[in-house]
């Protein structure tokens, strides 16, 4: 592997830097986009139970907001529940934009790396071809080793750029899809919460009289 990096010449330096960033972002996104940290199991049911029991004091809402992205969206709706459906919807949209922006962190960078890596490989290819032509101008076509070095540098850079770009693009699309799925699930939980808030409170049954 080290021999290939050396054979790629100076054009390999930015490609290697891109590959380091790609690996770091993929690992970080896998850790940050775990389902249990975004949409904890049972959180929606627990919040709806709070709403039914009217246990919605500021301490509960602060803890809910810090719990997870889903908790932050639900807490935003509950804080303005007394202002009506329109106010809750507007506040949820604002909170949702913030949450989705955080969930999409580094994905733009990952997509950019997927885009520029082949271009960097092409740049290394051009540098290798220039080296080959300079060797031809200086030594003629009799120096096979110089020609082979330029061709090898070009091929290594091209392959390395594609090797970085392909997984970067795949994981970029994968994480984008995961974030979109989380957004739909959070929207579903918010709708269920709003429905539970608008539902009439259960009326306790009147005590039955005992016949004398």
SS3 assignment for the chain? CHHHHHHCHHHHHHHHHHHHHHHHHHHHHHHHCCHHHHCCCCHHHHHHHHHHHCCCCHHHHHHHHHHCHHHHHHHHHHHCHHHCHHHHHHHHHHHHHHHHHHHCCCHHHHHHHHHHHHHHHHHHHHHHHHHHHHHHHHHHHHCHHHHHHHHHHHHHHHHHHHHHHHHHHHHHHHHHHHHHHHHHHHHHHHHHHHHHHHCCCCCCCCCCCCCC
> Is residue 205 scored above 50 in pLDDT?
no
pLDDT at 170 over 90: yes
Higher pLDDT: 131 or 55? It is 131
Q: What is the mean pLDDT of residues 103-108?
A: 93
200 pLDDT tier (thresholds 50, 70, 90): low
The 10 Å Cβ neighbour count of residue 95 is 21
| Residue-averaged pLDDT of the chain | 82
Of residues 92 and 154, more confidently modeled: 92
- Cα gap 142→177, rounded to integer Å: 55
Q: Is the pLDDT of residue 212 over 50?
A: no
The model's pTM is 0.80
Question: Of 94, 154, 167, 87, whose CA–CA distance to 123 is shortest?
Answer: 154
pLDDT of residue 186: 92
């Amino acid at each position: 592997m080290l021999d290939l990096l050396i054979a790629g010449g100076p054009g390999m330096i930015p490609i290697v830097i891109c590959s380091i960033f790609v690996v770091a972002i993929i690992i970080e996104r896998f850790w940050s986009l775990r389902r249990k940290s975004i949409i904890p199991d049972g959180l929606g049911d627990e919040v709806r139970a709070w709403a039914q029991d009217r246990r919605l004091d500021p301490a509960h809402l602060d803890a809910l907001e810090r719990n997870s992205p889903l908790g932050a969206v639900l807490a935003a709706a509950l804080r303005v529940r007394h202002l009506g459906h329109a106010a809750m919807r507007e506040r949820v949209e604002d909170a949702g934009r913030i949450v989705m922006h955080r969930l999409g962190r580094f994905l733009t960078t990952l997509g950019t790396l997927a885009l520029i890596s082949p271009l960097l490989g092409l740049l290394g290819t051009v540098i290798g071809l220039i080296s080959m032509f300079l060797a031809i101008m200086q030594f003629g076509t009799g120096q096979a080793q110089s020609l082979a070095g330029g061709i090898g540098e070009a091929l290594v850079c091209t392959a390395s750029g594609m090797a970085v770009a392909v997984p970067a693009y795949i994981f970029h699309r994968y994480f984008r899809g995961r974030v979109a799925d989380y957004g739909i699930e959070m929207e579903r939980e918010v709708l269920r919460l709003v429905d539970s808030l608008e539902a009439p409170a259960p009326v306790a049954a009147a005590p039955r009289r005992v016949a004398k």
